């Protein structure tokens, strides 16, 4: 059995837990919208056509914000197509996903669904095929109370009160050659700056996100951020990061360490932003909006034959996640929390059916994928302040990341609880973790493990399905009962440990 020690010291506070860390993403892609959040005629449907079972699972998941409408989709999207009477809305080709978009769901329906789910909407504007005027028009429609052509159009369409959307993404992945309207960093930076300047003329209090790199492996990574921020630094609040990970060539150990890349990604973007700020003589700090992240088996998509037809809401990117995926996913969540001083928001991409924690059958059941559980537990238990912890533990070698620690962890603490989120990356051995909570107990009595749960399975590739939705779920871990500060963590496991004073 492996051995590890971990000290929790409130002096190592990082920042308050940011509720926007637990955001999600709804894109017009595959079955995310149609037969995902919206399916007229479903047994659980409400009067607007929204699936009640998906709404209930969304609330249980604990997401706080939702980004919309894309994603690659937004770079060809005309928002006007999705407002007004449904019978007058045009059907359009969606070039990004080679589908037909019916526009049954648009801006106003999305905002109503967000409010039903208790989520803050986060809107992306099209800077691929459109520009400054269209972004300002969309903002006027959304946020001006009344008295203008577009605000009055919103009221006529049934939305009397303004949507008051505060956070806006200036395009999507404009560094990617796959993107409709792909631009160089200088071209995009100039357009983003002009768009931001005009939007702030309408509403100075907006939070604006500039497009960063679509991944740390992009050939322009680093240089892209530097150039874009040179153009936009005083006009935006955040710069985006996007990252997806998958097991490659059977290298499970390397996959479980994929958060190493996310750590590098965040640190590099922060350093680049700070360097630009220093060069410009600015005291302002740019934050990171990690508004797309997940486990995604992208290699399967790249290997598939191109579509020749234009179907409505075809099944696309419907990855079925197993235990190891959930553990790697949990490690990514730990990384986002560890960087709460600079990561202001994050969006799990996506919410339903498309590389998602929630799956549905058209007309039928909905269930929780394995990745649902780490997210829901972190959203529920991460409160107060983030506390950085650095376990003393064995390491193991990986082809991509070199030597990595077998244990990955973060703590959060409020007046009532201290909670540890811990991943055991070992593929073969359990790990006995000894906790040192000395500073927590100073003047307040002994500290003990009050409760612990573990997400694991004998089969590292076990999945949840509609027929067996609870195969992989968090279960009580009682191995600490013989010693209140020692606990055994199984191999390939996600663990939540709550500490309290005896």
Dihedral of the alpha carbons of 106, 108, 114, 119, in degrees to the nearest 10: 110
Catalytic residue among 101, 134, 225, 292: 292
What's residue 305's pLDDT? 78
What's residue 308's pLDDT? 85
Is-contact 102 312, C-beta < 8 A? yes
Is-contact 457 472, C-beta < 8 A? yes
Catalytic residue among 39, 140, 173, 225: 173
CA distance 26 to 24: 7
What's residue 481's pLDDT? 83
For residue 458, indicate whether it is catalytic.
Answer: no
For residue 292, indicate whether it is catalytic.
Answer: yes
What's residue 437's pLDDT? 81
Q: Is the dihedral of CA 179, 22, 420, 325 positive or negative?
A: negative
What's residue 443's pLDDT? 54
What's residue 417's pLDDT? 87
Running DSSP on this structure, what letter comes out for residue 454? E
CA distance 432 to 10: 23
Mean pLDDT by 10 residues, the chain (502 residues): 94 97 98 98 97 98 98 98 97 97 98 98 98 98 98 98 98 98 98 98 97 97 98 98 96 97 98 98 97 95 84 97 98 98 98 98 98 98 96 95 97 93 97 86 73 97 98 96 92 96 70
Q: Please list the alpha-helical segments (H only) found in 42-172.
A: 52-61, 107-117, 132-143, 149-156
Extended beta strands in 373-467, E state: 385-387, 395-398, 402-405, 407-413, 418-424, 431-436, 447-455
């Amino acid at each position: 059995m492996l051995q590890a020690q971990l000290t929790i010291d409130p002096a190592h506070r990082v920042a308050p837990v940011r509720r926007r860390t637990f955001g999600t993403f709804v894109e017009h892609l595959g079955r995310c919208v149609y037969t995902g959040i919206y399916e007229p005629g479903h047994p659980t449907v409400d009067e607007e056509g929204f699936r009640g079972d998906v709404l209930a699972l969304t609330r249980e998941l604990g997401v706080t914000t939702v980004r919309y409408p894309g994603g690659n989709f937004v770079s060809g999207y005309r928002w006007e197509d999705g407002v007004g009477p449904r019978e007058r809305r045009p059907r359009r080709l969606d070039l990004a996903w080679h589908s037909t978009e019916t526009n049954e769901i648009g801006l106003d329906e999305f905002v109503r669904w967000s409010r039903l789910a208790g989520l803050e909407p986060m809107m992306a504007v099209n800077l691929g095929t459109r520009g400054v005027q269209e972004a300002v028009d969309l903002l006027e429609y959304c946020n001006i109370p009344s008295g203008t052509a577009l605000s009055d159009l919103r009221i006529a369409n049934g939305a009397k009160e303004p949507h008051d959307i505060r956070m806006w993404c200036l395009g999507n992945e404009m560094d990617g050659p796959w993107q409709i309207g792909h631009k160089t960093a200088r071209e995009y930076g100039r357009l983003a700056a002009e768009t931001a300047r005009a939007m702030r003329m309408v509403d100075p209090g907006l939070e604006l996100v500039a497009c960063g790199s679509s991944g740390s492996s992009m050939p322009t990574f680093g240089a892209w951020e530097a150039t874009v921020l040179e153009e936009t630094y005083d006009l935006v609040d955040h710069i985006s990061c996007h990252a997806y990970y998958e097991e490659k060539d059977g290298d499970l150990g390397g996959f479980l360490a994929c958060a190493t890349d996310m750590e590098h990604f965040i640190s590099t973007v922060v350093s680049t932003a700070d360097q630009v700020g220093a060069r410009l003589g600015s005291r302002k700090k740019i934050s990171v909006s990690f508004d797309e992240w997940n486990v995604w088996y992208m290699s399967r998509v790249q290997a598939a034959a191109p579509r020749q037809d234009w179907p409505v809401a075809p099944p696309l990117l419907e990855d079925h996640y197993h235990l190891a995926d959930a553990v790697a996913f949990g490690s990514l969540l730990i990384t986002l929390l560890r960087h709460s001083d600079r990561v202001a928001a994050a969006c799990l991409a996506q919410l339903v059916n498309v590389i998602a924690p929630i799956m549905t059958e058209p007309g039928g059941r909905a269930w929780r994928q394995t990745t649902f559980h780490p997210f829901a537990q972190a959203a529920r238990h991460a409160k107060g302040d983030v506390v950085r912890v650095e376990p003393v533990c064995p390491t193991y070698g990986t082809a991509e990341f070199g030597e990595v620690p077998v244990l990955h962890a973060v703590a959060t603490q409020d007046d009532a609880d201290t909670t540890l989120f811990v991943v055991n990356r070992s593929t073969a051995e359990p790990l006995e973790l000894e906790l040192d909570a000395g500073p927590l107990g100073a003047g307040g009595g002994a500290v003990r493990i009050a409760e612990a749960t573990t997400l694991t399975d004998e089969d590292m590739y076990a999945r949840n399905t509609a027929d067996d939705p609870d195969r992989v779920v968090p279960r009580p871990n009682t191995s600490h009962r013989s010693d209140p500060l020692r606990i055994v963590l199984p191999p390939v496991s996600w663990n939540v440990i709550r500490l309290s004073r005896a």
